[in-house]
């Protein structure tokens, strides 16, 4: 089974060829560096760049995979959530290809795609599993029972973890995207400043990161006002530790409560090395195996979309060519 998958929900134009849901024959990601100069993604520019990139990116995926369109069994694309202009480029192109090839089209929820990065790398992942999705727009815990059955256990009530990384990075004068740059800076510092952790109600599996972001901003402002020296690497390390401690503790709490057989962590923040080490160390103590895809499958990519589509293909769950982009596609649709 050969799936050609396309992902254009934000600012990466991505295409992949995935065989039998596990073998990545090609995984092409064209990142749009132009947004750096604006300190964030500019939707208008993103969709225009997708338009320029989509044909060569898909062609490169096919070339690298060494296959022709005739060998493709289904075409998949992300249909939401994301930026509407960005989504429309990949979605329309995928639907057009499927129509021309007379092959099934499969629309994928972007977050289902992130979760399936786990099954792409670990097809035998022990279920039921608790899965943390920590990305730029979402921070949620899911209970994965089977490929057909999953439940939402908790979500962020304000900022996503990746969003907090991006905003704090900006406050520290780092570039965009902030996550990787903040991690690099944190590596040079010590977590010796206390920033508050929002644990919320006793047994809540929800998250909240906006207070932490504000605490960092206040710390920087007060230090400047009082002329106190600011060690930016220490601020970065302290912030990073605060976010990651909450992510790790809540994920383990969920896994223990549900009696999960394994823990999966995905999304851009799961590419953070300190996070990966912290979660693995903490889970070792309670004896629950942890699975985290390699970093390139944590951030946006089309291989994860191809893997998610493969499992839908097996169940004959194809999408109509009428499927529209849904920028605010809810978690419940998952």
Annotated binding residue 272: yes
# binding residues, ligand ATP (CB under 6 A): 25
**Going residue by residue from 78 to 117, which x/- string records binding to ligand ATP, judged by CB under 6 A?**
----x---------------------------x---x---
d(CA 306, CA 108): 9
Which of 40, 43, 180, 211 is the binder for ligand ATP (CB under 6 A)?
180
- Please name which of 2, 138, 17, 117 lies closest in space to residue 71, comparing C-alpha atoms: 2
- Binding status of residue 189 toward ligand ATP by CB under 6 A: no
> What is the x/- site pattern for Fe ion, positions 158-187, by CB under 5 A?
------------------------------
Would you say 17 and 11 are in contact if contact means Cβ atoms under 8 Å apart?
no
DSSP-derived pairing of the beta strands 129-134 and 139-144: antiparallel
> Quick check: 284 and 262 in contact, CB under 8 A?
no
Does residue 271 interact with ligand ATP by CB under 6 A? yes
Nearer to Mg ion, 11 or 181 (CB): 11
Judged by CB under 5 A, the chain residues 74 through 113 that form the site for Mg ion are none
Q: Per-residue DSSP letters for 272-322?
A: -HHHHHHHHHHHHHHT--EE---HHHHSS-SHHHHHHHHHHHHTT--B-TT
258-278 burial, b for 16+ CB within 10 Å, e for fewer? bebebbbbbbbbbbbebbbeb
How far is residue 123's CA from residue 126's CA, in Å, rounded to a whole number? 9
Report in angstroms how near the CB of residue 82 gets to Fe ion at its nearest.
8
300 binding Fe ion? (CB under 5 A) = yes
Minimum distance, C-beta of residue 331 to Mg ion, in the bound complex (Å): 20
Rule CB under 6 A: is residue 191 a binding residue for ligand ATP? no
Task: Give the whole-angstrom CA distance, residue 94 versus residue 287.
Answer: 43
Direct distance between the N- and C-terminal alpha carbons of the chain, in angstroms, rounded to an integer: 24
Residues numbered 3 to 42 that lie near Mg ion (CB under 5 A) are: 10-12
* Rg of the Cα atoms in the chain: 20
Applying CB under 5 A, which residues contact Fe ion? 135, 300
Annotated binding-site positions for Fe cation: 110, 114, 300
Contacting positions for ligand ATP (CB under 6 A): 9-10, 82, 110, 114, 135-138, 162-163, 165-166, 177-180, 183, 267-269, 271-272, 299-300
Name the residues that contact Mg ion, by CB under 5 A. 10-12
Binding positions for substrate are 133-137, 166, 179, 183, 272
């Amino acid at each position: 089974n050969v799936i050609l998958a396309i992902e254009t929900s934000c600012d990466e134009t991505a295409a992949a060829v995935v065989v039998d849901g596990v073998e990545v024959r090609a995984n092409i990601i064209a990142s749009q560096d132009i947004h750096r100069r604006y300190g964030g993604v500019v939707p208008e520019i993103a969709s225009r760049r997708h338009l320029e990139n989509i044909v060569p990116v898909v062609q490169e995926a096919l070339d690298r995979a060494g296959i022709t369109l005739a060998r493709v069994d289904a075409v998949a694309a992300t249909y939401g959530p994301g930026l509407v202009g960005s989504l429309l480029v990949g979605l329309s192109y995928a639907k057009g290809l499927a129509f021309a090839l007379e092959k099934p089209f499969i629309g994928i929820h972007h977050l289902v795609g992130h979760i399936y990065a786990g099954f792409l790398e670990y097809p035998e992942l022990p279920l039921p599993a608790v899965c943390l999705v920590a990305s730029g727009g979402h921070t949620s815990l899911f209970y994965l029972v089977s490929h057909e059955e999953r439940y939402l256990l908790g979500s962020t009530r304000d900022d996503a973890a990746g969003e907090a990384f991006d905003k704090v990075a900006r406050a520290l004068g780092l570039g965009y995207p902030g996550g990787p740059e903040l991690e690099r800076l944190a590596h040079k510092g010590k977590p010796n400043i206390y920033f508050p952790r929002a644990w919320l109600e006793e047994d809540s599996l929800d998250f909240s990161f906006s207070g932490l972001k504000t605490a960092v901003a206040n710390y920087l402002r007060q230090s400047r006002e009082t002329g106190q020296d600011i060690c930016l690497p220490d601020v970065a390390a302290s912030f990073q530790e605060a976010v990651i401690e909450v992510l790790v503790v809540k994920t383990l709490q969920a896994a223990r409560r549900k009696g999960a057989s394994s823990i999966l962590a995905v999304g851009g923040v799961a590419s953070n090395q300190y996070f990966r080490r912290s979660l693995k160390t903490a889970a070792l103590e309670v004896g629950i195996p942890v699975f985290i895809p390699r970093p390139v499958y944590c951030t946006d990519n089309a291989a994860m979309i191809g893997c998610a589509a493969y499992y839908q293909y097996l169940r004959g769950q194809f999408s109509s060519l009428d499927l529209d982009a849904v920028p605010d596609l809810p978690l419940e649709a998952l």
